[in-house]
A and B are shown apart, each in its own frame.
Chain A
Amino acid sequence: MSQVDSPTHRGPFRKVFHPYHPMSQPTSSRSEPRSRSHAPQFMKGNEAVVHGALLAGCRCFFGYPITPASEIAHTAAELFPEVGGVFLQAESEIAAIQMVYGASSAGVRCMTASSSPGISLKQEGISYAAGSELPMVIVDITRGGPGLGNIAPEQSDYFQMVKGGGHGNYRLPVLAPASAQEMCDFTVDAFTLADRYRTPVVVLADGLIGQMKEPVSLPDAVREIPDKPWSVRGDGATRENLICSIFLDPPVLEDHVRHLHDKEMEIEAKETRWELEGHPDPELVLVSYGVVSRIVRGALDEALAKGMRVAALRPQTLWPFPTAALAHATRDAKAVLCVELSTGQMVEDVRLGVGGAIPVHFLGRCGGVLPTVTEIGEEMESVLAQAEVLS
């Protein structure tokens, strides 16, 4: 065996995490091209997910009922058969993700959707799909936890979705919509990314974004779906193919993991998305995503009206996290305030991004309690007052 063929020739994984140079501009926030030729339809975020999926060429939906994600299954049950697709209610979340595993192996665009406790059950299949490099879209309409929790919105699935809830070395792109329009658009994009990188992709929203109705401008259906020569379609052309996540030989598994890791680095370089609003030279940078970013926008508007130097960063991809954009936005800031519907999950990535240069404050609510504009406004005043004392 030549040196090039040897799976171990690249040796161990080595990395250095350099601080982001705050003055260097991050690469611009990526987005896919969109067509907007149709008048808006008024629909729930959950319904927008299904419309987006069908327009992205998704052909099979496998799900299981759970509040507050059930409208996704309801809408899919209505629309998929109407366009020659498959809707099937599985016997469990465990089975639903495995049906997606099968349909993806067979080379069609496919998806599942659930809410937090159901996603916990899907983690087995998600790990296998990551290992087998199967493109699929998984939608999580997060609710209160742990355990049965409640059906109100939370953002407490950040860890299990962004940091990987299943076993093994893998990361999945996580898109975080903040409106019904984005529920549609990001679902379309999720299918694009899933095929582009042969990976499961997560759309992570919360109960409120799922349940809220807003006007949605739907795009045209995608004309071409990428060919999948690696799939197992039950035909002569794909007879030699194997979908597999087992690699018994340690160097071979290491090489496989390295291949997954190479894709992750490419995704980090090319697919990071965010939105930055507010003062161009902020003293305080707010960081939030999903429904919280909508409330933060209310607080931001009030603060800007008062003449405060505040900006708001909204990660649209939670992995890859817009670390460089955060470093750049906070280059002259005195503090960061991260607001979440959790006891502090995304804030860990915010702290990594800021790198200890300035204080990172956290404001969280959970159980379905939402922070108010007033509450966030008062916190901003308090954080800035503390920064004054320190400076």
Chain B
Amino acid sequence: MKEFHRPEALYSTFPRKGGADPEATHYCPGCGHGIIHKLLGEVIDELGVGERTVLISPVGCSVFAYYYFNAGNIQAAHGRAPAVATGVKRARPDSIVISYQGDGDLAAIGGNNILQAANRGENMTVVFVNNAIYGMTGGQLAPTSPLGMKTTTTPEGREFEEYGSPMRVAELLAPLDGVSLSSRHALINAGEIIKTKKALKKAIKYQMEGKGFSLVEILSQCPTGWKVDPVESLHWVEEHMLKVFPLGTYKDEPRQRPTPPHPADYEPALIDRVIHAGTSANGRGKAHEPVRPVTLPLGIRAAGFGGQGILLLGEMLAKAGLAEGLSVTWLPSYGPEMRGGTANCSVVISDTPVGNPIVDQPNLLLALNRPSLERFEPMMQPGGVVIYDSSLIDVGPTRSDLTAIAIPATKIADELGTAKVANVVMLGACMELLAFPSQSERDPLLQSISRDEKMLEANRLALKGGMEAARAAAAPAR
């Protein structure tokens, strides 16, 4: 003879609930949650996963599932259980994560969360308790309420024209590639209850084996919400729900998931290796006496068309300063400029820590197109230096207090076979004028742009071309 006993996965008394009767649940008489809790508890016992189980209970009548389940419990926000479950499962892949959700929670407010977790194929189990109504908040319309059903928010009954048809979740999720199991069951008789239990067991087994996402939808009675007595509520399911929500398995195609990372295993030495890789002491030392004495701090603006490599040019200048042991900041104009239009960036190079990184009044301007020259020339500090691409800008700066240095950057780049390196020509011109960084620091800078041998060689030639052009252009001014 079979002996019936309370599963170990359910507590025998419910002190978390409090109140006068610590052995009674908070559920109404005839509610389906009690049966489902028992089935789930038995399955957890039978599969021996009680210690590994983490139960997520979001808002709804089952928000208090933690009163009853002897498992790690996490109470969650309305509809968000699949996202919370994702976080738990990704953090602890060895846990057995069960998201226990009602129909308002899962199908309405949490619609996208369940859809996306299913589509990702999260290795978890969703128990979807569909009673066609919001129970806890007082019998309001749910996405699953049958047409014509009177609720506290559809006093005349649900109309298709107003609210559409009841949402069939098991059918909706089944076609998603990430879903391994999607089935619907009911608690209307012993046979169906046994089928429900088998489905729950299969779903959790799939999770144990790393076989992906399962949803078990269970049509569950809500006598209070439906305003019928417990016995009638069983007939109500048969009469009003079965034709809208046919029972059956809509998908059973377990897919083996790859072995996930175990992030809780923490290896600080590995992190140090990855994060500090390539960090070396910076070189120091002057390349040569500057062609033109530059006073620090340098407030540089580089500007041109999107696609000319303006931001990179600025960054290389900042890195050159860093290699020289100076304090630097680099600030891009960010956003749509990255994808066309004009681009500019601010670089500060200073022998004291950089305070203000915003270059309102540059003392060095690198202009790679005419609009940039026109925009930034008026902002220049008196006595500032303008280096401009004379192959694209026919008229230089008009202010007489500025020193203009014309570099045919695009022309030099074209002669090297690619206009793309015009920014490196300008970089070379700047380095010549600034007299840093030292020879030994130049190649590492170029390598940080590209390690591709062909590209690197082009950049070396472009840098050299820029330096020679700057020497030539600056010569008469000495």
Chain A residues with CB under 8 Å of chain B are 38-42, 51, 54-55, 57, 59-60, 62, 67-68, 79, 81-86, 88, 90-92, 94-96, 98-108, 110, 124-125, 128, 132, 151-152, 207-208, 211-215, 218, 220-223, 225, 232-236, 238-239, 241-246, 249, 291, 294-295, 297-298, 301, 370, 372-374
Q: Smallest CB-CB separation from A245: which chain B residue?
A: B75
Q: Does B92 contact A (CB under 8 A)?
A: yes
Given contacts A90-B83, A221-B271, A294-B357, 4 further A-B contacts (CB under 8 A): A110-B87, A212-B331, A232-B72, A373-B356
Q: Would A59 and B263 count as touching, CB distance under 8 A? A: yes
Interface residues of B in 32-86 (CB under 8 A from A): 50-54, 56, 63, 66, 70-77, 80, 83-86
Q: Which 8 A-B pairs have the closest CB atoms?
A: A234-B95, A102-B87, A298-B356, A297-B355, A232-B72, A98-B83, A59-B263, A99-B87
Chain A residues whose C-beta falls within 8 Å of the C-beta of B475 in the assembled complex:
none
Q: Would B334 and A294 count as touching, CB distance under 8 A? A: no
Chain A residues whose C-beta falls within 8 Å of the C-beta of B330 in the assembled complex:
42, 212-214
Chain B residues whose C-beta falls within 8 Å of the C-beta of A232 in the assembled complex:
54, 72-74, 88
Instruction: Assess A60 versus B72: contact at CB under 8 Å? Given A51-B275, A102-B86.
Output: no
Q: Does B148 contact A (CB under 8 A)?
A: no
Q: Does B2 contact A (CB under 8 A)?
A: no
Instruction: Assess A236 versus B51: contact at CB under 8 Å? Given A39-B279, A39-B282, A86-B261.
Output: yes
Question: CA of A298 to CA of B352 in the docked complex: distance in angstroms?
Answer: 12
Chain A residues whose C-beta falls within 8 Å of the C-beta of B63 in the assembled complex:
246
Chain B residues with CB under 8 Å of chain A are 16, 18, 50-54, 56, 63, 66, 70-77, 80, 83-92, 94-97, 112-113, 115-116, 261-272, 274-276, 279-282, 315, 318-319, 322, 327-332, 334-335, 354-358, 360
Instruction: Assess A221 versus B87: contact at CB under 8 Å? Given A208-B331, A244-B66.
Output: no
Q: Would A40 and B322 count as touching, CB distance under 8 A? A: yes
How many Å from the CB of A198 to the closest CB on chain B? 15
Please name 18 pairs of A and B residues whose Cβ atoms are closer than 8 Å in the assembled complex, sorted by A.
A59-B263, A84-B261, A95-B80, A98-B80, A98-B113, A99-B86, A105-B84, A106-B264, A125-B77, A214-B330, A218-B275, A234-B72, A234-B94, A235-B51, A236-B51, A243-B75, A297-B356, A374-B360
Instruction: Assess A103 versus B50: contact at CB under 8 Å? Given A95-B83, A242-B75.
Output: no
Chain A residues whose C-beta falls within 8 Å of the C-beta of B263 in the assembled complex:
59-60, 84-86, 108
Question: CA of A108 to CA of B86 in the docked complex: distance in angstroms?
Answer: 14
Question: CA of A62 to CA of B269 in the docked complex: distance in angstroms?
Answer: 24
Q: Would B319 and A42 count as touching, CB distance under 8 A? A: yes
Chain A residues whose C-beta falls within 8 Å of the C-beta of B262 in the assembled complex:
84
Q: Would A110 and B91 count as touching, CB distance under 8 A? A: yes
Q: Would A105 and B322 count as touching, CB distance under 8 A? A: no
| From B73, B94, B112, B275, residue with most partner A Cβ within 10 Å | B275
Chain B residues whose C-beta falls within 8 Å of the C-beta of A98 in the assembled complex:
76-77, 80, 83-84, 87, 113
Question: CA of A222 to CA of B268 in the docked complex: distance in angstroms?
Answer: 7
Question: CA of A68 to CA of B390 in the docked complex: distance in angstroms?
Answer: 34
Q: Would B261 and A212 count as touching, CB distance under 8 A? A: no
Question: CA of A295 to CA of B358 in the docked complex: distance in angstroms?
Answer: 7
Instruction: Assess A214 versus B18: contact at CB under 8 Å? Given A42-B322, A95-B116, A235-B51.
Output: no
Question: CA of A211 to CA of B90 in the docked complex: distance in angstroms?
Answer: 30
Chain A residues whose C-beta falls within 8 Å of the C-beta of B84 in the assembled complex:
98-99, 101-102, 105
Chain A residues whose C-beta falls within 8 Å of the C-beta of B272 in the assembled complex:
220-221
Q: Would A106 and B95 count as touching, CB distance under 8 A? A: yes
Chain A residues whose C-beta falls within 8 Å of the C-beta of B270 in the assembled complex:
83-84
| From B50, B75, B115, residue with most partner A Cβ within 10 Å | B75
Q: Would A370 and B358 count as touching, CB distance under 8 A? A: yes
Q: Would A238 and B72 count as touching, CB distance under 8 A? A: yes
- B275 is contacted by which of A55, A103, A151, A297 (Cβ under 8 Å)? A55
Q: Would B335 and A57 count as touching, CB distance under 8 A? A: no
Chain B residues whose C-beta falls within 8 Å of the C-beta of A207 in the assembled complex:
334
Q: Smallest CB-CB separation from A82: which chain B residue?
A: B274
Instruction: Assess A59 versus B91: contact at CB under 8 Å? Given A94-B80, A212-B331.
Output: yes
How many Å from the CB of B275 to the closest CB on chain A? 6
Question: CA of A95 to CA of B265 in the docked complex: distance in angstroms?
Answer: 25
Q: Would B275 and A108 count as touching, CB distance under 8 A? A: no
Q: Would B86 and A234 count as touching, CB distance under 8 A? A: no
How many Å from the CB of A152 to the closest CB on chain B? 8
| From A62, A124, A232, A236, residue with most partner B Cβ within 10 Å | A232
How many Å from the CB of B283 to the closest CB on chain A? 11
- A57 is contacted by which of B54, B85, B266 (Cβ under 8 Å)? B266
How many Å from the CB of B16 to the closest CB on chain A? 7
| From A62, A83, A98, A301, residue with most partner B Cβ within 10 Å | A98
- B355 is contacted by which of A125, A244, A301 (Cβ under 8 Å)? A301
Question: CA of A45 to CA of B77 in the docked complex: distance in angstroms?
Answer: 32
Question: CA of A381 to CA of B359 in the docked complex: distance in angstroms?
Answer: 22
Instruction: Assess A62 versus B87: contact at CB under 8 Å? Given A128-B77, A221-B271, A294-B356.
Output: yes
Chain B residues whose C-beta falls within 8 Å of the C-beta of A51 in the assembled complex:
275
Question: CA of A106 to CA of B50 in the docked complex: distance in angstroms?
Answer: 16
Q: Would A234 and B266 count as touching, CB distance under 8 A? A: no
Q: Would B113 and A95 count as touching, CB distance under 8 A? A: yes
Q: Would B88 and A92 count as touching, CB distance under 8 A? A: no
- A234 is contacted by which of B53, B261, B268, B327 (Cβ under 8 Å)? B53
Question: CA of A90 to CA of B115 in the docked complex: distance in angstroms?
Answer: 12
Q: Would B328 and A214 count as touching, CB distance under 8 A? A: yes
- A241 is contacted by which of B73, B80, B358 (Cβ under 8 Å)? B73
- B315 is contacted by which of A213, A239, A297, A372 (Cβ under 8 Å)? A213
How many Å from the CB of B279 to the closest CB on chain A? 5
Q: Would B92 and A234 count as touching, CB distance under 8 A? A: yes
Chain A residues whose C-beta falls within 8 Å of the C-beta of B319 in the assembled complex:
42
Q: Would A151 and B280 count as touching, CB distance under 8 A? A: no
Instruction: Assess A91 versus B332: contact at CB under 8 Å? Given A86-B263, A239-B50.
Output: no
Q: Smallest CB-CB separation from A59: which chain B residue?
A: B263
- A298 is contacted by which of B53, B266, B355 (Cβ under 8 Å)? B355
| From B88, B265, B330, residue with most partner A Cβ within 10 Å | B88
Question: CA of A310 to CA of B121 in the docked complex: distance in angstroms?
Answer: 60
- B91 is contacted by which of A103, A295, A374 (Cβ under 8 Å)? A103
Instruction: Assess A212 versus B329: contact at CB under 8 Å? Given A68-B335, A90-B83.
Output: yes
| From B54, B265, B319, B330, residue with most partner A Cβ within 10 Å | B54
How many Å from the CB of B378 to the closest CB on chain A? 14
Question: CA of A233 to CA of B261 in the docked complex: distance in angstroms?
Answer: 15
